[in-house]
Amino acid sequence: MSVFGYKAMDPDMCCRGFKFAVGETYAIDGMPELCERGYHFCESAYDVWDYYSRCDAIVCEVEALGVVVTDGKKSCTNRIRIIRRMNPIDEGRLRYGHGYGDGYGYGYGYGDGYGDISKVLEWEV
pLDDT tens by residue, 15-28 = 999 999 999 999 99
pLDDT-derived band at 34 (thresholds 50, 70, 90) equals very high
Residues 27 and 66 placed together within one structural domain of the fold: yes
- Verify that 54 and 4 share a domain, yes or no: yes
Is the domain of 12 the same as that of 73?
A: yes
The tens digit of pLDDT for each residue in 96-118 reads: 665 444 455 444 444 444 444 55
> pLDDT tens for residues 42-69?
998 888 888 887 777 889 999 999 999 9
Say whether both 73 and 92 belong to one domain.
no
Looking at residue 42, the DSSP 8-state letter turns out to be B
Mean pLDDT of the chain: 81
Number of Cβ within 10 Å of residue 60's Cβ equals 22
User: Do the beta carbons of residue 121 and residue 60 sit within 8 Å?
Assistant: no
Domain limits for position 28: 1-86
Q: Is the dihedral of CA 65, 66, 71, 72 positive or negative?
A: positive
d(CA 125, CA 123): 6
Count how many domains the chain has: 2
